[in-house]
Structure 1
């Protein structure tokens, strides 16, 4: 290969690289870096004019309108072909300056970090923090927080009657009339092993283990006064929520 052809090849490669960085050589706006998920190029008319870096903990979302800079939490953003990240800048309980991270002390809590400031938050009762999608989730989807250990309940083998009547067998909570455990199959086999989920009846109702459904408290022995009773203007009893 002579010197002319070598120079031509180098120029061609440079042009192709710039084109790929700027949306095919015609782009204006923000475009993904080829190897680092939190870095991006700023382009004008297909030419790189600068580079940028998202705040620590955020990544560049390459999808959508390139005219708007999108540095976002990494959940749901595919960084598999540009996996590198800037070195973390931990502060206190925050592994990175921004993001949502599992609380190492309690799998039902998570640490929300913004500019290095940590806020510990809790999932609703019966749910655990899912570090993959950044949401509070059913515990069977969070390996760090097994449902049986979290809820203190193990699903008994389901009877054919229970499967026919309810699909997913339901069991009363031992101390709270409003709450119940629903046993969900962990495989496609409905007669196979099941994992519990903690569910609750709507306000004004309690769980009736005899029918497997939410019911008026007066129909459930031991739960008649769960909400307390009051007399309305027509001298009829109605249900009101109490602080219990």
Structure 2
């Protein structure tokens, strides 16, 4: 009798759970957070999140790329490739949030921003670090002051080159802490924080748990222990370095003043400079991208009006 009652209770519980969760017809049997292209409109796509089927709209002039799951320039997208979903009910189209443009004239506003206080920049020099919440943003440190910058629409920040590029090259990962599902008491997994040298995580029950070293110490990711800051191998912030192009001239340009600002190359649209404290640093966009002074970022060739020789 008790077995029958237990079975009845279990069935009632399952039925109750399913009744409480409303799932749109298009999302039945579909994995949560799946994304599909629109069958006929290249600028639209759909998603299933928590059982809700929602429509989305790319920014004007961009197409949805099902392969990379981002909105990109039309010339780089085969919009008829990838799975699509048949819409059975009318759903509102949610416009993609437009990126914040940092500058249109090349200037960079260096001032203390309380929203960036969790970025502990080096006190001297110019360096870069990925943004903690967005692959399409990054932070430049100017002598200890963090300044937020934005990539052009459809591009991600690459920590190795210190600039914006195609997402496939940037390999951005906001959630970098990946823990195994099962615990191994003989081999505890530690993970260094991507933005704070004094912070680290240990894995337990498949989840990362935050911890910090004592004041003045940094986490050493090779030895998995806290060590004096000067002895640690922490490289959260990447020094902003010039590229080595022996044949390209000019390697430097005169800076108008000691302020921070971008300068386009006078002869080649793939190259640009960052001016700061009266010194210029030459950089180069990846193949297929050109420097765009309007966005202060490398951008798709189709979006840039280049009048110089390539």
Q: TM-score range by the shorter chain?
A: under 0.3
Larger radius of gyration: 1
Higher RCO structure (Cα 8 Å, ≥6 apart):
2
TM score, norm. by length of structure 1 = 0.25
TM score, norm. by length of structure 2 = 0.20
